[in-house]
Amino acid sequence: REQLDQYKERLLQLKKERNAIILAHYYMRGEVQEVADYIGDSFGLAQKAKDTDADVILFCGVHFMAESAKILNPNKIVLMPDERSGCPMADMVTGDGLRKLKAEHPNATVVAYVNTSAEVKAETDICCTSSNALKVINSVESDEIIWVPDKNLGHYVSQFTDKKMIIWQGYCNTHDLLTPEEVLALKAEYPDAPIVVHPECRPEVVALGDYVGSTTGILKYCRESNFENYIVATEEGVRYMLEKESPEKTFHFASRYMVCPNMKVHNVKKMVRALETMQPQIEVDPEVAEKARRSLDRMLEIVP
Ligand code: 13P
Ligand code: SF4
């Protein structure tokens, strides 16, 4: 604890010296959320990255998020505390794979979840996150959509649109492992508790949700409703903010295995090191970034 306090003090000092901002996803360890300037879901983080006037962005999230921050800010330095923080779902679709699918469906509009590489975003017409996916789908003119990479979020939004969706078969290892049986077992224990679900979960789990939405949506729902107990079907890092915002409520996580290991590699010690050494920096090929920026900018116009 004492050492952690020392790191935190040093971090504050370095932040001033570098004119840096710390952006963190809700799945970060508590110690990272404690020192962040802004904590958000993937939409909020992209929005904040676009708005900041800091010179340096220290991004505590997975690689595609930091990459998006760099795409939106080609002239700023974007650092990650630990570069090994990838997203397996984002790796499930490649630029080549998407180009092949586009060739098979030349009239389709490509909508990509932000959980994708810069190369895939460069091949995309418009990005979305789980918070604005349906609005994005309904904002495009075409009746045919190529959707990458999350099959579960794709299935969820397809229920609310008449458009034909060609859905890539990617998924999030962390959310997809949850079964309806696990959720129902908790429901039997807490029959009055609402079930709140992230749409990256399987369709059978999402179907049980009293509320389905992005991380920010889940937090808002739990903050603004009045139950004693909640059954939460998403990554465990959200507990930190749920309990901070509603200390009087009890949150039962549907599975103790819903931990995204990629999000947990960051810590305050590595944050200090990144600002000290100004490494590792996130770089994106300028030509790819230019194209990817268009699909991200289009998304940012569609506020959840
Ligand atoms: P949101 O932060 O948009 O809810 O997405 C969750 C997620 O899995 C991020 O990788
Ligand atoms: Fe990727 Fe899933 Fe981790 Fe989000 S929770 S970063 S989608 S692996």
What percentage of residues in the chain have a pLDDT greater than 70?
Answer: 100
Q: What is the pLDDT of residue 303?
A: 85
For domain 90-171+290-300, the CATH class is: alpha beta
Q: Report how far ligand 1's centroid is from the alpha carbon of 216 (Å).
A: 9
Q: Identify whether the C-beta of residue 69 lies closer than 8 Å to the C-beta of residue 55.
A: no
- Judge whether 124 and 111 are in contact, CB under 8 Å: yes
pLDDT at 304 over 90: no
Instruction: Establish whether residue 214 lines the binding site of ligand 1, counting it when its CB lies within 6 angstroms of any ligand atom.
Output: yes
| Predicted confidence band of residue 259 (pLDDT cuts 50, 70, 90) | very high
Confidence band (pLDDT; 50, 70, 90) for 2?
confident
Residue keyed to tokens 């963190």: 24
Q: Decide: 132 and 304 in contact? Cβ < 8 Å.
A: yes
- The residue extents of the domains of the chain are 2-87+263-283, 90-171+290-300, 174-253
Query: What is the ipTM, given to two decimal places?
Result: 0.97
- Read off the pLDDT of residues 91-137 as tens digits, 9 standing for 90 and up: 999 999 999 999 999 999 999 999 999 999 999 999 999 999 999 99
Domains 90-171+290-300 and 174-253 share a fold: yes
Which residues, other chains included, contact 70 with Cβ-Cβ below 8 Å and sequence gap of 6+?
76, 78, 282, 283, 284, 289
CA of 30 to the centre of ligand 1 (A): 17
Query: Binning pLDDT at 50, 70 and 90, where does residue 301 land?
Result: very high
Mean pLDDT computed over every residue of the chain: 97
33-51 average pLDDT score: 95
Q: How far is the CA of 85 from the centre of ligand 2 (A)?
A: 10
Kindly report, residue by residue over 183-225, the tens digit of the pLDDT: 999 999 999 999 999 999 999 999 999 999 999 999 999 999 9
Residues 61-92: tens digit of each pLDDT = 999 999 999 999 999 999 999 999 999 999 99
pLDDT higher for 1 or 237?
237
Distance between CA atoms of residues 242 and 107, nearest Å: 43
The number of the ligand 1 atom at minimal distance from the alpha carbon of 131 is 3
Does the domain made of 174-253 have the CATH classification 3.40.50.10800? Answer: yes
Phi, psi dihedrals of residue 3, rounded to the nearest 5°:
-65, -40
Ligand 2 atom showing the smallest separation from residue 88 Cα: 8
The fold of 2-87+263-283 is Rossmann fold (3.40.50)
